[in-house]
Amino acid sequence: MDGIRWRTNGAVDQEAVMMIHNLVSTIIPVFNRPQMLRVAVASVLAQSHRPIEIIIADDGSTDQTPEVARELVEQAPEIIHYARHENAGPGPTRELGRTLARGEFLQYLDSDDRLLPNKFSDQIAVLRDHPECSVAYGITRLVDHNGQVLADPFKWTARDIPELFPGLLVDRWWCTHTPLYRRSLTDQIGPWCDMRWSQDWEYDSRIGALGTKLIHCGTHVSEHVHHDGVRQTSSASWTTDPTRLRNRVQLMNVLWKGATKAGVPQSAPERQHFARWCFAIGRNCAAQAMRPEALQCFDLAESAAGPHGAGRKGISFYRLLFNTFGAAATRRLESLTRRVRRRPGAATMEQSFASTKAGK
């Protein structure tokens, strides 16, 4: 990988990056996390599988992260490589790493999480045994920064789930580091998007839309670290912040498009859950006087629920209220219903993070 061990821009000739059989390329996007980066890199170096390569993709860090990355490259220049671009968010930063990757298999690892030593060996083994599958995954556990286990399994990662949909309509039921992808699949679905939030969910929805087959390796493979440091999802409100609400509307459109392409039937309970979720986001948008977004969510909700689905309940009334009396009346009603409503509705399902301790 000569010539891109210390790249400080995103330019690379993708045709010149040749795939290497059995190589696992791990892409680690990072922004201002020098010490966490050391731990994440160490967890990849500890893999029992070889060959490996690590691509540190720096999203314009302003602290000591570039210096730490340089140290890491110097310690293992045949394995560790570095690329940097101006701050653009996690999606474009993962994409920077993807364009440089040479492996037959791709691993994404956020800088504040870590892999277990058996991950690549176990997941490659099941992918070799199941050529019809393009993604392998295993069990992820939630730990604190000291390694104490907080939840095992985390999310639905202990379940044997054959495809991403319809589960993606309820939650992103694994973590970014849980799966290992065949390079052929990531080439097929194309670049990461530039959404500031939920770009990993959008990525998975494109994979799910293809009906991609998944295989579970049956072992623990990674740790999701709960810490007090800055996270991309920290601060701001998902119910009142207009920027985040627009992001949610964008995600809803992507998920519905993917579910439709994947052929999720109207009878699936996940569709009714998704309809209630869209309806809730639409009400939040209406309360913020975001008329186009609110009406778009109401339309999505009705499409997902179908003409007689339980998820359709109340949408027509809210649409009429909003169109007739505007944002102020809608905001007052939403505030009142939040005080008395315990659940969004009978059609909603439990999200993956809510059942991690029980391993459901």
The two counts, helices (H) then strands (E), for the chain are 10, 10
DSSP H stretches of helix in 60-198: 65-75, 90-100, 119-129, 183-189
* Contact assessment for residue 57 and residue 83, using Cβ atoms and an 8 Å cutoff: yes
* Reported confidence tier of residue 3, pLDDT bands at 50, 70, 90: very low
- Domains of the chain: residue spans and CATH: 6-226 (3.90.550.10), 242-349 (no CATH)
User: Tokens 């309360």, residue?
Assistant: 287
What pLDDT does residue 283 have? 92
329 Cβ partners below 8 Å, 6+ apart? 321
pLDDT at 5 over 50: no
User: CA 186 to CA 134: how far, in whole Å?
Assistant: 9
pLDDT tens digits, 152-193: 999 999 999 999 999 999 999 999 999 999 999 999 999 999
User: CA 184 to CA 200: how far, in whole Å?
Assistant: 18
55: tokens are 């691509």
* Contact assessment for residue 129 and residue 226, using Cβ atoms and an 8 Å cutoff: no
* Contact assessment for residue 92 and residue 85, using Cβ atoms and an 8 Å cutoff: yes
Q: Which of 110-119, 286-295, 331-340 has the lowest mean pLDDT?
A: 331-340
What percentage of residues in the chain have a pLDDT greater than 90? 78
* Contact assessment for residue 265 and residue 297, using Cβ atoms and an 8 Å cutoff: no
pLDDT at 358 over 50: no
43: tokens are 């967890």
User: CA 180 to CA 299: how far, in whole Å?
Assistant: 35
What pLDDT does residue 227 have? 75
239, with CB counted inside 10 A (0-12, 13-18, 19+), is middle
What is the rounded end-to-end Cα distance, in angstroms, of the chain? Answer: 43
User: CA 126 to CA 105: how far, in whole Å?
Assistant: 13
pLDDT tens digits, 250-308: 999 999 999 999 999 999 999 999 999 999 999 999 989 999 999 999 999 999 999 99
Region of 38 please: left (phi>0), alpha (psi -120 to 50) or beta: alpha
Sign of CA dihedral 17, 23, 24, 30: negative
